[in-house]
Structure 1
Amino acid sequence: MRVPNDHPLARTYVLLDPDLNTGAAESFRGTVEVAEREGLVELLLNRETSASAASAAIRSLEHDESPLTRNALARALRSPHPSIRILATGEMVRRKMVPGTATDLFQLLTTDPFWQVRRAAVNALAEGAPRELLAPASNDPHWRVRYALGQWLEEWGRDLTARDNVLELLLTPAPHSARLRDYLFYRWTGNAPAERTANDPQSWCPFWDWDPAVLARNLELLGRSGRREALNVLVRLINHPDERVRAWVILALREDGTPEQWEGAIGLLGDPREDTAPVLEALTRGIELDRIEEVAKFILCRPPTLPPLLETLPGYSSITAKSWAAAQAGEAFPVEDVRAELERLKPDLPDSNTIAPSLFAPDHPHARAAALTSDRAKELVENPTRETSWFVLSRAAKMCRVPVWKLAPETPWKLPATPRAPAEPLELPRIALVRPRQIGPDGPIVSPLGVSGHYGLPVEGYVRAAERGVNLFFWEPNYATLTRFVTRLSPSDRREVHMLVGTFEADPAKIRKDVERALRNMKLERLSIFLIFWTQSWQRITPDVREELESLKRDGLVQMFGLSTHNRGIARDAIIEGWNPVMVRHSAAHRKAETEVLPFARERGTSIFTFNNTCYGRLLDPSFRPSDCFRYTLNTPGVSACFTAPSTLEYLEENLDALQNPELPDDVRDRLLKRGEWMYREDTVFRKTVRAEV
């Protein structure tokens, strides 16, 4: 028997279709129908559900406080999608479910490979769990998680009577925790912390460069023999944040690594918070079993005393290496070969810390499906309307060897039509530039204030910016709304706007590929301004890179090229060597460019772009307007243009006011500089404590 077309099951059947379930889930928002609620819960619990569909299910269940829904949201903390784990964590706080899910939240804090999830777990645990569960965050590998904890500890520690208990939440001994302690005392007392020795990779890595692209290229230039000779050093780079660097380390270990070097690398891959599983997979994928056996037996059978290499590896964990080696027994070689070693090491090897999921309540669809008997399954197949869950009906159909589609309604339910207007071409008025600036001797004439697509400003925001006199935009490949804006323009209008684009690469072929991708994605004939982004070392700019940039200009793919950097010394040297334009940080909090960079630019006629004018919003204060931050930099001699990165039309309108009203009154300037001086002190301590790499 099929489900009647007018039955609730006819609607929830659509949730089984991956192409339609997101829209269906959204259409059930606020439902009180049992079948729809159960369908949304089943969608959320299905690990094959897409993140967009699972997110729609959570939104549609926002009103529902039933045990069924609360249980599903708690289980969503283990979703395969990071975004859903974050959403579920927020629901634990909103629904005051933190005490009952503290164990799961602690699991996220200590094992999740995404710092955004761990930060959400910190904020949730701080709302309603025992405070001692927050301790691991004090030594989290990502500074944003440590900072989230620091904000809570700072607030709690303002009470002098509670301060000792607060400090007990910092793990010891642990270098990150020690610096977090320094930060807290600074925030509580105002006294700057003492200097601490930091790890300098240049002291142990002769080919080190702070620019990841340069470091990766240095590893390539070493050649196989050079990498083989340097393997003891390369092992320490197995967890480098840049994938290009890790790839060369992995290749060197696979080609020439000794068992001891393999053990060192594996022992550095033990922190699940650093997302080490893909690195270990890349290291071992496709390796001959004989090689795996050699390494595993070396680890299991060596004496307890560490070899010299392993003694020198910061962060090395023998337990991680032994656990991996023990897992190879029975896979790469017989267990009997190392039976004695496994028994000896058994006390040292951790048990699985996976939390067993709680049982479903008897009335839960999953419990009903598990309790199905053959008679009940037959009954449901013959009359599916006696059930409210397609999860149960699917199990019943399978038990009866009947395709589940035979229970579906004769006429499939269709989602309510949602009119979607086509993306009409955009027509820009003639852009009337306000105080235009020439970039370089032969570059474009642009507005002094440009707009970045970093925070997803709606398409109409870029149109509004153009109407107000902006023709300069900052683009990267993931700036979706800015891409839509440009591609909806006519070819003639696209020639009226100027896109600043860049590359993080240091290889000529890859740089050209980045240019071609930008041109293709935005349907442009030529990039107005192309920069080598985030230049941290002059080793990034080799003769072949400079020649490729010149070639791109000769080929008409870029109008002009330059570089951007946080390093004022590099910016100054670039100006002296004739690079034009140059992009550098500048704000009321970071003013050293005014004496170390801008005078050289004025002397040589170099165009300077500035960025980070509001310090990502941290510079803002009620005593002045946000647009005053842009007025400040644009009124600084030597600055050609700067960028704002608004997320809303409201922010855009405020910041565009710096174009129409450029004057910065003296009293406002004084308040801005005072705030900048305070923030610079804060940033200096912050970089040396919370954000320091150790």
Structure 2
Amino acid sequence: MRVPNDHPLARTYTLLDPDLNTAAAESFRGTTEVTEREGLVELLLNRETSATAASAAVRSLEADDSPIARDAIVRALNSPHPSIRILAAGEAVRRKMIPDTSRELVRLLTTDPFWQVRRATVNALAEGAQRELLIPASNDPHWRVRYALGQWLEEWGRDPGNRERVLGLLLTPTPHATRLRDYLLYSWTGEVPAERTANDPQSWCPFWDWDPAVLARNLELLGGAGRRDALNTLIRLVNHPDERVRAWVILALREDGTPEQWEGAIGSLGDPREDTAPVLDALTRGVELDRIEEIAKFILCRPSALPPVLETLPGYSQTIAQAWAAAQAGEAFPAEDIRAELERLKSDILPSSPYVAPPFAPDHPHARAASLTPDRAKELVETPTLETSWFVLSRAAKMCRVPVWKLAPETPWKPPATPRVAAEPLTLPPITLVRPRQIGPGGPIVSPLGVSGHYGLPVEGYVRAAEEGANLFFWEPNYATLTRFMTRLAPSDRRGVHMLVGTFEADPAKIRKDVERALRNMKLERLSIFLIFWTQSWRRITPDVREELEALKRDGLVQVFGLSTHNRGIARDAILEGWNPVMVRHSAAHRKAETEVFPFAQERGTSIFTFNNTCYGRLLDPSFRPSDCFRYTLNTPGVSACFTAPSTMEYLEENLDALRNPELPDDVRERLLKRGEWMYREDTIFRKTVRAEV
């Protein structure tokens, strides 16, 4: 029997359709109908559901405080989608469910490979009474998670009577926890922490470079023999944050690594918070079973004493290496081969502890499905309206070997269609530049304030910026709204705006590929300004890279090229070597460029872009306006232009005021500089404590 077309099951059947389930879920927002509620829960718990559809299910259950909805939020903390885990953590706070979700939240805090999820977990657990559950965050591998913990601890310790208890949460003897204590004591008392030894890769890696593109190229230039000879050093880079670097390390290990070196690499991949699974998979995928057997048996049968290469390896865990090797027994070779070794190590190897979900309540669809009997399944197939859940009906149909679509309504229900309005072409008014300046020799004439697409400003924001006289924009491939703005412009209007685009590559062919991609994505014939982004080493700029940039200019694909850097020495040298334009950090908190960079630019006529003018918002203070941060840099001699990166129209309007009203009153300047001095001291301590690499 089919479900009648007017039955609630006819609507929830649409949740089974991947093409329609998001719209269907959104149409059920605020429902109190049992069938629709269960359908939303089933959609959220289905691990094949897309993140978009799962998010729609969570939103539609926002007002539902029933036990099944609350249970679904707890289980969503185990979603395969990081964005849903973050959303569920926020929902747990909003619904005041922290005591009920502590076990799941602590699991995320200690095992989740995405720092964004762990940060959300810190913020959720901090709302509960069991503050000791936050202790693992003190040695988190990502500074943003440690900073989130630090913000809560700093707040709790503002009362001097609470400080000992707060510091008691940081007793874990790790370098990160020690530095977090330093940061808190400084925040509370102003006591400058003692200098502590930091990790300096240059002391142990002869081919190291802070610029990942250069390091990757150095590894390539070593050649196969050079990488083989350097493998004891390379294994310390096996989980380097840059994929290009990791790829060379993995290649060297696969081609020439000894069992001992494999053990060192595998033993360094034990922290699940560093998303090491893809690295281990890339290392072992497709490797001959004979070699896996050799490495695993070496690890399991080796005496407990560690050889020198492993004793000095930071982050190495013998237990992790042994656990991996033990897992190969029965897969790559018979377990009987090393039965004695497995028995000897059984108590030492960390047991696996996969997530085990709590049991479902008896009236939950999943529990009803699990308890189906053949007779009940047959009854439901014959009369599906006896049930409210398609999850149960699907199980019943499977037990009876009946396709579930045979229970579907004759005329499938579809959610109300959201009319799609085709994006209309944009027409820009004539852009009247305010205080225009030319960038580089023969370069574009631009407004002093540009707009970045980093935070997804709505398309109308870029139109508004153009109306106010801004014709300079900052683009990267993931800036979706800025891309849409550009592609909706007529060719003549696109020629009237100027895009600053760049590359993180250090290979000529890849640099050209980045240029061609940007031109294609924005439907441009030429990029006005092209920079080598985030230059941390002059070794990034090899002669062939410079030749490629000149070729791109000759080919008419780039109007002017330059580089950006946080390093003032590199910025100064770039100016002296004729690079024009140059982009460098500058704000009321970071002023050294005023003496170390800008005078050279004035002397040589070099165009200077500045960035990070608000220190990502941390410089802002009620004593002055946000737009004053841009006024400050634009009133500094030597600065040609800077960028604002607003997320909303309100932020845009505020910051555009620096274009319309450029003057910075002396009293405002003094307040801004005072805030900047405080910010610089804070930032210096912050970099040495919370953000330090150890």
TM-score bracket, normalised by the shorter chain, equals over 0.9
Where does structure 2 lack aligned partners over 5 or more consecutive residues?
none
Aligned to 2:363: 363
Q: How does 1:21-32 map to 2 (within 5 A)?
A: 21-32=21-32
Aligned to 1:660: 660
The whole-number CA distance in structure 1 between the counterparts of 2:344 and 2:81 is 39
- Asked if 1:629 is matched to 2:652, the reply is no
Aligned to 2:600: 600
Cα offset for 1:414? 1.6
The whole-number CA distance in structure 1 between the counterparts of 2:402 and 2:351 is 42
Q: How does 1:6-21 map to 2 (within 5 A)?
A: 6-21=6-21
Q: How does 1:3-152 map to 2 (within 5 A)?
A: 3-152=3-152
CA contact (8 A) 1:452 1:645 kept: yes
Cα offset for 1:352? 2.0
The whole-number CA distance in structure 2 between the counterparts of 1:193 and 1:315 is 25
- After TM superposition, the structure 1 stretch with the greater mean CA deviation from structure 2, 187-196 or 677-686, is 187-196
Cα offset for 1:218? 0.1
Matched-pair identity in %: 86
Question: So what's the TM-score if we normalise by structure 1?
Answer: 0.99
Q: How does 1:100-499 map to 2 (within 5 A)?
A: 100-499=100-499
Where does structure 1 lack aligned partners over 5 or more consecutive residues?
none
The whole-number CA distance in structure 2 between the counterparts of 1:276 and 1:324 is 13
The whole-number CA distance in structure 2 between the counterparts of 1:627 and 1:160 is 37
CA contact (8 A) 2:139 2:176 kept: yes
The whole-number CA distance in structure 1 between the counterparts of 2:490 and 2:131 is 58
Aligned to 1:573: 573
The whole-number CA distance in structure 2 between the counterparts of 1:32 and 1:511 is 56
The amino acid of 2:692's aligned partner reads: A
**Deviation string for 1:463-513 (max 9, x for gaps)?**
000000010000000000000000000011100000000000000000000
Aligned to 1:619: 619
Q: Secondary structure at the match of 2:103?
A: helix
The amino acid of 2:565's aligned partner reads: T
The whole-number CA distance in structure 2 between the counterparts of 1:439 and 1:662 is 19
CA-based RMSD: 0.7
Q: How does 1:468-617 map to 2 (within 5 A)?
A: 468-617=468-617
Cα offset for 1:129? 4.6
Cα offset for 1:126? 1.1
Q: Secondary structure at the match of 1:500?
A: strand
CA contact (8 A) 2:20 2:414 kept: no
CA contact (8 A) 2:428 2:463 kept: yes
Cα offset for 1:162? 2.4
CA contact (8 A) 1:610 1:643 kept: yes
The whole-number CA distance in structure 2 between the counterparts of 1:76 and 1:172 is 30
The whole-number CA distance in structure 1 between the counterparts of 2:341 and 2:166 is 43
CA contact (8 A) 2:476 2:502 kept: yes
The whole-number CA distance in structure 2 between the counterparts of 1:395 and 1:354 is 26
CA contact (8 A) 1:138 1:171 kept: no
The amino acid of 2:506's aligned partner reads: A
**Deviation string for 1:584-640 (max 9, x for gaps)?**
000000000000000000000000000000111111111101100000000000000
The whole-number CA distance in structure 2 between the counterparts of 1:310 and 1:662 is 59
CA contact (8 A) 2:211 2:537 kept: yes
Q: Secondary structure at the match of 1:499?
A: strand
Cα offset for 1:101? 1.2
Cα offset for 1:171? 4.2
The whole-number CA distance in structure 2 between the counterparts of 1:125 and 1:541 is 46
Which consecutive aligned stretches of 4+ in structure 1 deviate over 4 angstroms post-superposition? none
The whole-number CA distance in structure 1 between the counterparts of 2:129 and 2:674 is 39
The whole-number CA distance in structure 1 between the counterparts of 2:671 and 2:17 is 58
CA contact (8 A) 1:139 1:171 kept: no
Q: Secondary structure at the match of 1:168?
A: helix
Cα offset for 1:130? 1.5
The amino acid of 2:161's aligned partner reads: T
Question: So what's the TM-score if we normalise by structure 2?
Answer: 0.99
The whole-number CA distance in structure 1 between the counterparts of 2:414 and 2:312 is 64
The whole-number CA distance in structure 2 between the counterparts of 1:151 and 1:467 is 40
**Deviation string for 1:24-68 (max 9, x for gaps)?**
000100011110000000000000000000000000000000000
Q: Secondary structure at the match of 2:358?
A: coil
CA contact (8 A) 1:443 1:528 kept: yes
The whole-number CA distance in structure 2 between the counterparts of 1:654 and 1:113 is 38
